[in-house]
Amino acid sequence: MSAARILLYCRAGFEKECAQEISAVAAEMGVEGFDDMGAELGRNLEFRRLVFPRQMVRASELLALPEVDRVTPIVAAARALGRRFAALWIEMPDTNDGKSLSTLTKPLTPHLERALAKAGIAIDDAKAAERLHVFFVGGRACHVGVSDVGNSSRWPMGIARLRMPSGSPSRSTLKLAEALLEFLDEEERAKRLAPGMTAADLGASPGGWTWQLVQRELMVTAVDNGAIDPRLLETGQVKHRRDDGFHYRPAEPIDWMVCDMVESPSKIARLASRWIAEGWCRDTIFNLKLPMKKRWEEVGRCREIIDTELGGAGYYLRMKHLYHDREEVTAYLARRQREPLHSKRNVKEKP
Ligand SMILES: C[S@@+](CC[C@H](N)C(=O)[O-])C[C@H]1O[C@@H](n2cnc3c(N)ncnc32)[C@H](O)[C@@H]1O
């Protein structure tokens, strides 16, 4: 038993986009027939550069589980993958059927933990480079696999579980909260999103995104013809401008532009590129509302627009289908050092 496959989790309904993306990235890396090369691909892909996958696990083939004793085959599969893991994550698809499996996995977990300990497998080694995943696809089958702690989602099931803050005027606030966690590490947040910095929020009403920035003590211009929650205006940190987000320009360069306007993705991608190209802001986070069909192609089109607008200059772009996104992806575009494309680096040629 080996981890010869890549298991990617995504939002239900986005399996096609996930497959299209991984095929495109494999081709970019020069890997063909990636079914056989799942393990190598899984080691060389950079998770954070993928848009649609929520989690990336190198996994075994589907393991059939006898009803009488599910634990023994899982422990045997785990032992084939290693002895020391940072965590044990028992997971299932994020669907109603998947969730119903928790009636099985909850009582199973303590038995599995005891059996792993008895087999000499650690699942709480803070220094271990990998986590152990047991991903149930039904009561009688699961994948057993591993994720690299430094190259995967830090959230079980790839789901950023964030509490809805009571003071925020809208649930959309969770999108920006997740984006800031996803795209910036703690050090970057401290440096690039510091108290006293300035921001524009385009399409701000009723103010969920503005609320996130206000919490971080930024000074915000909230641009929208719609109303902004008066509690935000009372903070003294928010100015409301009833203006068109496509026409608004800051009087002088600011630190951030965030944008949640419901508009065509290519128009938003062009707008965000312009803000960076003209130096109106340094960092930007924006939502790209995807069409029902050809969602992967639309992501590619937006990337091309950004590259056409900014190709000559250094820019940094990441896009992610966040847990709090539905028919949309969230992008982070900044004036900072660019990353190279996925490379074949250590992928071995097919024997
Ligand atoms: C999804 S809502 C934004 C929610 C907001 N981010 C929050 O957290 O509360 C989209 C907003 O974009 C605004 N909008 C759409 N087109 C706009 C434009 N051209 N200029 C300014 N605002 C626009 C709408 O009025 C609407 O309030």
60: pLDDT confidence band, cut at 50, 70 and 90?
confident
Res. 338 pLDDT band, cuts 50 70 90: low
User: Which of 173, 224, 243, 246 has most ligand 1 atoms within 8 Å of CB, for mutation?
Assistant: 224
Task: Give the pLDDT band (50/70/90) at residue 36.
Answer: low
Statement: residue 345 has pLDDT above 50: no
Ligand 1 atom with the shortest distance to the CA of 176 = 8
DSSP β-ladder status, 198-202 and 219-223: parallel
Ligand 1 centre distance from Cα of residue 180 (Å): 19
Is the CB of residue 78 less than 8 Å from the CB of residue 57? no
* pLDDT for position 1: 55
Q: Encoding tokens for residue 29? A: 């890396």
What is the arithmetic mean of pLDDT over 83-90? Answer: 98
* Residue 47 confidence class, pLDDT cut points 50, 70, 90: very high
CA 239 – ligand 1 centroid, Å: 15
Tell me which of 285 and 351 has the higher pLDDT: 285
Cβ-proximal residues to 121 (8 Å cutoff; 6+ apart), any chain: 75, 78, 79, 82, 83, 84, 85, 132
- Between the CA of 166 and the centroid of ligand 1 the distance, in Å, is 21
- 312 has pLDDT over 90: no
Atom from ligand 1 closest to the CA of residue 209: 8
pLDDT at 115 over 60: yes
CA torsion, ordered 72, 77, 79, 85, to nearest 10 deg: -110
- Structure tokens belonging to residue 208: 């969920």
Peptide bond into 206 cis (omega under 30): yes
Q: Could you tell me the distance, in angstroms and rounded to a whole number, from the CA of residue 126 to the centre of ligand 1?
A: 43
* CA 312 to ligand 1 center in whole angstroms: 31
Summarize the confidence of residues 9-26 as an average pLDDT. Answer: 94
Query: Which residue is catalytic, options 106, 127, 175, 289?
Result: 289
Q: At 65, which helix (H) or strand (E)?
A: none
What's the gap between Cα 67 and its chain centre?
35
Which residue in 62, 13, 329 sits closest to 183, CA to CA? 329
Q: What percent of the chain has pLDDT over 90?
A: 84
- Say what the pLDDT of residue 2 is: 66
Using pLDDT thresholds of 50, 70 and 90, give the confidence band for residue 351. Answer: very low
Instruction: For residue 39, name the pLDDT band (cuts at 50, 70, 90).
Output: low
Which amino acid, one-letter code, is at 65?
L
Residue 34's pLDDT is what?
A: 53
Computed over every residue of the chain, the mean pLDDT equals: 92
Pocket test for ligand 1, best of 162, 210, 220, 225 (most atoms within 8 A of CB): 225
Bridging pattern class, strands 256-259 and 198-202: parallel
Instruction: Assess contact for 86 and 150: CB atoms under 8 A.
Output: no
pLDDT tier at 254, thresholds 50, 70, 90: very high
289 is catalytic: yes
| Residue of the CA atom closest to atom 16 of ligand 1 | 261
Nearest-CA residue for atom 15 of ligand 1 = 261
The token pair that represents 79 in the structure block: 């032992």
pTM value?
Answer: 0.93
Report the nearest-CA residue for atom 26 of ligand 1: 203
d(CA 83, CA 94) in angstroms, rounded, equals 28
Ligand 1 proximal residues by C-beta, below 6 Å: 169-170, 172-173, 202-209, 223-226, 244-246, 260-263
The rounded Å distance from CA 157 to ligand 1 centre is 31
Q: Where are the beta strands (DSSP E) in the chain?
A: 5-9, 55-59, 63-64, 88-91, 130-138, 141-148, 198-202, 219-223, 238-241, 256-259, 283-289, 316-320, 328-334
